[in-house]
Amino acid sequence: MSEETAKLEAQVLGQAATDIDGIENEAKESFASDENLERESQESTTTPAQPKTATLDTKGSRLLERKSARDDEPYDFERCTVLVLLQLMPLRGGQSSDARKVFVSARTHSYPPQITQMRWDELAPRLPNEIHTLLARLQNELPQRAAQCC
């Protein structure tokens, strides 16, 4: 593994440690059933909620400081939350668009993700139409977002 790849992977792990928790929380809030919401509210009245925090060790692996709610899920692939993340890295000066690096990661519970790296031009043709649609919507919104923030 090249030094640049190792640095990018460490960056992905670092961002994933914080970003993924936020993504998971949004997804759980959006798709939680009434039954789950009721159960969670009952649990929160009996035991105080513990915030999820994480740090990276010297090898870039995620170390848990506090237990995560998803750790209570069964260690059964069909019955636990699985998060799959595509991370498109920005192009660096002079790189052609087909050289854009992509990290694909998958994880369960609070363990570090399984990660693979490839180029965008290798991955894009294999993605489902739904993902292409989401990326096109995001790309169309970026100029509006830039005008609002800057």
Per-residue confidence (pLDDT) for residue 44, from 0 to 100 = 44
| DSSP letter string, the chain | --HHHHHHHHHHHHHHHHHHHHHHHHHHHHH--HHHHHHHHHHHHHS------EEE-TTS-EEESS--GGGGS-S-GGGS-EEEEEEEPPPPTT--GGG-EEEEEEEETTSPPEEEEEEHHHHGGGS-HHHHHHHHHHHHHHHHHHHHH-
Q: Name the pTM for this structure.
A: 0.57
Digit-coded pLDDT (tens) for 19-54: 555 555 544 444 444 345 444 544 544 444 443 444
Digit-coded pLDDT (tens) for 89-140: 999 988 888 889 999 999 999 899 999 999 999 999 999 999 999 999 999 9
